[in-house]
Every structure is written in structure tokens, then in C-alpha cells.
Amino acid sequence: MIGLEHFLILSAVLFAIGLYGSLTRRNAIAVLMSIEILFNAVNVAVVGVARYTTPFGLTADNVDLLLTGQVFALFIVTVAAAEVALGLAIVITMYRNQGSVEVGEANIMNH
């Protein structure tokens, strides 16, 4: 039987994959894609906790609060969409300025 633990551990595995990708990839767009996996892993955990656990003091009047986790996930989706749009704009500017999107070569601010 599938329970909360399954979803949380799956979320941890996805998070670790995204973390590995965002640390090891050299291409800035590949790093952005790995960061999207990180956001999605967190969403799975948040929605899973909202589905399987019960808050203290749950009554018939405040049963709506059970879906707080889903509201959090909606906000994470919004922030992730903003992040990818701005990230791509930065990557395109970087490509224009130095002709490369390698993360290791982005050292223009070092001088």
C-alpha cells in the first residue's frame, strides 16, 4: 500500500537528481532545467503532506485548511515560472555579451 513515506522518499530522490544536475552541468540552460526538477520535487512533498497528514485542531469549520499544501504548491509553480523566464533572459544576455553560456566562463563580474 502506498503511503506518505513513498511520496516523500520519491520527492527526495527527484530532489537529489536535480541537485546533482544543477551542480555538475556546465551549460546554463541545463542548470535551469535541473532547477525545475528541484521545484517539482518540493511540490510533490508539499502536496503529499497536505494529502496524508492532519493538522491539530481540525474541525468541520476549518477543514479547508487541509488544502494549504496545494496552495503552497500553486505559489511554487508561479515563482518557478517567473524564475525560468528571468533565467532565460539572463542566459540570452550572457550569450550576447560573451558568446557562450558555460557557467564556468561567467566571470565578467570578477574583474
Partner 1 sequence: MTGGIEESGIFTAIWWVIATLTVAAALLVVFLQDLVKAAMGLIGTFLGIAGLFVMLNAEFLAVVQILVYAGAVSILLIFGIMMIRDTQRGSQANSLRIPAFALGAVLVGIITFVVLDTQWNLLGEAMLTAAVQAGVEEAFSDSPPVLGGLLLREFVLPLEAAALLLTATLVGAIALVKGE
Nearest Cα to Cα of residue 34 among 87, 70, 82, 73: 87
Per CB under 8 A, contacts with partner 1 among 46-85 are 47-48, 50-56, 58-60, 63-68, 70-71, 73-75, 77-82, 84-85
Cell of 20: 546533482
Does residue 106 interact with partner 1 by CB under 8 A? no
Nearer to partner 1, 99 or 110 (CB): 99
Alpha-carbon distance of 37 to 82, in angstroms, equals 15
Does residue 99 interact with partner 1 by CB under 8 A? yes
What separation in angstroms does the CA of 57 have from each of 51, 65, 68? Answer: 16, 11, 15
Per CB under 8 A, contacts with partner 1 among 22-41 are 23-27, 29-30, 32-34, 36-37, 40
**Total residues in contact with partner 1, by rule CB under 8 A:** 80
